[in-house]
Amino acid sequence: MTKARFALVTGANRGIGNEIARQLIDKGFVVFVTSRDVDKAREAAKSLGDSAIALELDVANETSVKNAAEKVSGHTSYLDVLVNNAGIMFEDRMLDFDIGNINKVMQTNFVGPIVTSKYLLPLLKKSANGKIINISSEMGELASLEYGGYASYRLSKTALNAFTILLGSELKATSVKVFSVCPGWVKTEMGGSGATLPVEKGADTAV
């Protein structure tokens, strides 16, 4: 009998995260479909079928992440894939930024993946092939920063890319690999209706 493969996706109730969960299930994974709102997690898991397990997980709240990791441990002794997908964005510039918005974006898009990775690493290390996939953005690339706009979002994704490299290097001696990926410009609530890619294409890089 083949061993079950387990994945956890943050912000999986809608958008790219929901589609990543769907495509991983199609590939045979059991997926922890997480949302900061447990009812939304349950609704999303219900629509994804028997291989979806609903969990509450607010990446901006350490206690919520810790509780979710404990619940994952109740289902499985290892985790193969963590997708740090949850994200938010504000339309701001460096010169007129709102410190409250910067804190919210950094907490969700940058600190969230750090905290989530920390609590799930013990399970990822027990997989023969553990992977952390950070959903980043071209907008965080150093070379694209000069275009400006969405300043707090750009800062958070640049920092996320730095975290990816640092964590990957610290985990070199283990079987866990860490990646940053850009989904492209995708039609979701964040991407808007003018985006060039359907959600299926936005999810496939991470999958």
Binding stretches for ligand NAP (CB under 6 A) = 10-11, 13-17, 35-37, 58-60, 85-88, 108, 135, 137, 182-183, 185-186, 188-191, 195
Residue closer to ligand NAP by CB (options 113, 130) is: 113
Q: How far is the CB of 10 from ligand NAP (least distance, A)?
A: 5
- Residues 151 and 149: their CA atoms lie apart, in Å, by 5
Residue closer to ligand NAP by CB (options 127, 188) is: 188
Q: How far is the CB of 175 from ligand NAP (least distance, A)?
A: 25
81 neighbors 32 (Cβ within 8 angstroms):
no
Q: How far is the CB of 32 from ligand NAP (least distance, A)?
A: 13
Residue closer to ligand NAP by CB (options 28, 144) is: 144
Inter-helix orientation angle 38-48/15-26, to 10°: 40
Strand partners, 181: 135
- Residues 148 and 141: their CA atoms lie apart, in Å, by 12
- Residues 161 and 135: their CA atoms lie apart, in Å, by 9
Residue closer to ligand NAP by CB (options 179, 185) is: 185
Q: How far is the CB of 1 from ligand NAP (least distance, A)?
A: 34
25 neighbors 18 (Cβ within 8 angstroms):
no
- Residues 207 and 37: their CA atoms lie apart, in Å, by 24
Q: How far is the CB of 183 from ligand NAP (least distance, A)?
A: 5
DSSP state of 36: S
Residue closer to ligand NAP by CB (options 125, 204) is: 204
